[in-house]
Structure 1
Amino acid sequence: MRTIGLVVALSVASLCGAATQPQLRFAWKQVDYTWESPADRENAIKDGKFVQAHNLPLGLARWKNKLFVTVPRWKNGVASSLNYVNIDGPQDQPLTPYPSWKDNLVADSAKSLPSNNSIISVFRVYVDACDRLWVMDSGLADILGSPNQVTGPSLAIFDLKTDQLIHRYWFKVDDMKEDSFFANVVVDVDKDTCDNAFAYIPDLGGYGVVVYTLKENDSWRVSHHYFHFDPLAGQYNVGGIEFQWTDGVFGLALSEPRENGYRTMFFHAFSSTKQFCVSTELLRNYTKINKEEAFHDFKLLGDKGERSQASASFYDPKTNVLFYTQVNHDGIACWNSKKPFTVENNVLLFSDPSLYEFPNDLKVDDEGTLWLLVDKLPRFIYKELDANEVNYKIYSVSTTALIARTACEA
């Protein structure tokens, strides 16, 4: 049974948040791509490079009129892992590979990266304040079938104004553990000092965070107990499917710069209901500090409530609100960082299993619009999706309208 506090919080949110519902922007039964010709599509199907049912959208990020949509290589036959759609285009428009077709259409059995521009398998991406797209490429194909580590994990950085690859950084051996899996990235940078960028990459399988500095072109690994999963929060029930995951730190979100110039990084393990934070000052200087003393600089904010596991989070500097997915509740929740971290102040903004089954990724763009991708991932992994139903959806909603008259409003 849920705690009384959680029931109250959910009830209040459902009443207060009912006025503003997200707008459906994109919807697909199955995704397809902007093939260069019908023959290319037919050949890709014949060669096993495109198995349409195996292409599941997972991550997103907006830049101007482009909405980037990632399709990880969970199974064989993913035609393109990094793509975009036009935000003003049709709801069911095909995905356009980015930066090009030749950089994405790679055989699952490949033994090496065809070119430095090539993209293998991407879960999440991040658009920074300097008009750059940061792509965390796991390098792993056919994850659930016959896993093939085509290449090591790397960060690929694209200039969105020219669609050119600026830089690619390959993770060092010291950055990785035996069970490492890198699927997310957030970027700490000011638009006036673009060269001084730091990327934070959670290791959900190896329970750590890798810090990368663009200026020094170097990286290091940060370890802490709070990066581990909670053994009491590894149980999920989504779409009638019960499953257990042991995913550690995954959701990262950065505040606006504080008075000292550093940001607060909010973080949580996927399989956990607790929320933590740490200053980016510690992350940036981790190789120079006393690790034992620094242990206590990682702070527990509190618990979000029963079954409140979150796949993604994003901090909106305009409202000071941390938004996060609620995979067990088929919706989105929030917390105003100016208020105490209590169950009552963590508000479930909307929830509907028929509309938002497994909300996987969310971002807030620089116009104050929240974008949400929903994809029924547990069905995709453990059963199969019905090609006659709408399976993948992307919604948008104003953050200020969404939190109006809730505990997340200032």
Structure 2
Amino acid sequence: MSMKLYLESIVVSCLQILILTVLTVSAVKLQQKFKWREVEFDWPSLEVKQESIKSEKYVPSNNLPLGLDRWKDKLFITVPRWKSGVAASLNFVNISDGESPILHPYPSWEANQLPTEIGTKSESNPKLLKDNTTIISTFRVRADECDRLWVMDTGLADILGNPVQYAAPSLAIFDLYTDKLIRRHYFADSLLKEDSFFANVIVDAERGDCDNAFAYMPDLGGYQVIVYSFSADKSWRVKHNFFHFDPLAGDYNIGGVNFQWTDGVFGMAVGKRTRDGSRPVYFHAFSSTKEFMVSNKILQNETYSQNPESYYDYKLMGDRGPNSQSSAEFYDPETGVIFYTQVNKDGVGCWNTAKPLNPDTQGLVDSDSDALVFPNDLKVDNEGNVWVLSDRLPLFIFTSLDPEQYNYRILTGKISEIIKGTPCDIY
């Protein structure tokens, strides 16, 4: 080979390496929208804030964002009362806000204040709040196609400290145009188990048929799902073996912390309507790597869902592979892709539901050992964007967070872009 051809081959090789490097760099597809070292709130006044700090009703380091959802220019952000000193559990910021925006309590500041006494209770009624607009502690919320915000309120405060059950777990539903409460539904004691815990709400609703909406609340500690019918204003529980955790998938290593969890059914996603009018409901336990599916018609039929024959209506879709435990999932109706968090991989995964579910068909749309340490919640908006909230929860629970670092982040990405080059790509 001549010296000229040799040099030309070197140049070509260098260009190829450069192109690959650029492509690798551009593969970081989720863009950071918001970040906080510690969150701040829209206080009624400076005096109220100072008094709250003095009385320890507000402890900044105890306020950890966990859930999110978008409605128009609002991005709702939940702050569960894991510990004492949480200022407001349900909040929002505006999409147009700056890098570290303050949180605005929703529907009001007053609604997010803990009651001075525990709600009343009788044999026929669970613990009730005097004011049904009160939000005790919520982990996740859902803004539906009918412009309503569904809030799963655990009714439990200071979970990791000295727990207080102010009220029974309940669903609070708000009109997003007026910010007024539409309805509050308390779960009867007969639906609850000793270890019941509700950290998610999935809404099955369609515009044009809003009164016929259903909500599904996975009970991660009771290994069951509570189903709520909006039209009947009634709830019931559904049990199945697939709602339990996998004993081989309960070990986690996140952010340098090793721990074990036994959380059962947790992530759920409602798929596209099929020819027979039903919709598939995909679900998985948190401590599991397997994905399952059942028709929404099974869950919505209170009588049949209790029948032992319904056991065989639940289907195993497949296994995502080792270390693929997931806290949340969401179905995108435009692509048929389910996006899900990957807590052990500091990332976000995807699965095209038109393909079989196995490790080879799973995509990792992004992974970041700093920005995505414990991606906790994930949603898809109606503009084709994925929104992800990461919060380093294991460090918050088992060790401590460094207030000098950015601990909480919200990232977003265009679906058409983030699935390119993955097994989920449909384009």
Q: Same fold (TM over 0.5)?
A: yes
The C-alpha deviation readout for 1:321-342, integer Å capped at 9, x for no partner, is 0100000000000000001111
Deviation at 1:286, TM superposition (A): 3.5
Q: Which amino acid aligns with 2:118?
A: K
Structure 1, unpaired ranges of 5+: 1-14
1:16: how far off?
7.9
Query: Residues 355-366 of structure 1: matches in 2 within 5 Å?
Result: 355-366=371-382
Alpha-carbon deviation of 1:292?
2.0
Alignment of 1:10-409 (within 5 A): 18-19=26-27, 21-106=29-114, 110-112=117-119, 113-288=129-304, 291-409=307-425
| Per-residue deviation, residues 254-304 of structure 1 (Å, max 9, x unmatched) | 112111221100000000000000000100114236722210110001110
In structure 1, what is the Cα distance between the partners aligned to 2:161 and 2:240?
32
Question: Is the CA contact 1:136–1:154 (under 8 Å) kept in the aligned structure 2?
Answer: yes
Quick check: 1:198–1:212 contact (8 Å CA) kept in 2? yes
In structure 2, the residue corresponding to 1:44 is in which secondary structure? Answer: helix
d(CA) in 2 for partners of 1:114 and 1:45? 26
CA distance in 1: counterparts of 2:328 and 2:266, whole angstroms? 7
| Residues 304 and 310 in structure 2, CA contact (< 8 A), matched pair in contact too | no
Aligned equivalents of 1:72, 1:243: Cα separation in 2? 21
Aligned partners of 1:17 and 1:404 also within 8 Å: no
Matched residues in 1 for 2:306 and 2:191: separation? 19
Which secondary structure does the structure 2 equivalent of 1:216 belong to? Answer: coil
Amino acid at match of 1:208: Q
Q: CA deviation at 1:110?
A: 4.2
* Contact 2:328 2:376 (8 Å CA) reproduced: yes
Distance in 2, matches of 1:191 and 1:373, equals 27
Kindly provide the amino acid, as one letter, of the partner of residue 309 in structure 1.
Answer: Q
2:29–2:417 contact (8 Å) kept in structure 1: no
Paired residue secondary structure (1:195): helix
Cα deviation, residue 308, structure 1: 0.5
Once the two structures are TM-superposed, the CA of residue 114 in structure 1 deviates from its matched residue by: 4.9
Distance 2:118 2:55 in 1: 17
Q: Offset at 1:23? A: 1.1
Inter-partner Cα distance in structure 2 for 1:289 and 1:204: 19
Q: How many residues align?
A: 395
Q: Which structure has the greater CA radius of gyration?
A: 2
Which string of whole-angstrom CA distances, capped at 9 and with x for unpartnered residues, describes residues 103-156 of structure 1? 00226x742335111000000000100000000000000000000001110000
CA distance in 1, matches of 2:371, 2:179: 34
Q: Output the amino acid matched with 2:334.
A: K
- The code of the aligned residue for 2:299 comes to L
Evaluate the alpha carbon distance shift between residue 163 and residue 290 of structure 1 in structure 2; reply closer, same or farther with a 3 A threshold.
closer
- Checking the alignment, whether the CA contact within 8 Å between 1:49 and 1:105 is kept in structure 2 is no
Structure 2: runs of 5 or more not aligned: 1-22, 120-128
TM-score, with structure 2 as normaliser: 0.90
> 1:236/1:110 Cα in 2 relative to 1: closer, same or farther (>3 Å)?
farther
Secondary structure of 1:328's match?
A: helix
Distance 1:52 1:283 in 2: 41
Q: How much does 1:186 deviate? A: 0.7
Q: Is the 8 A contact 1:16 1:405 kept in 2?
A: no
Question: TM-score of the superposition, structure 1-length normalised?
Answer: 0.94
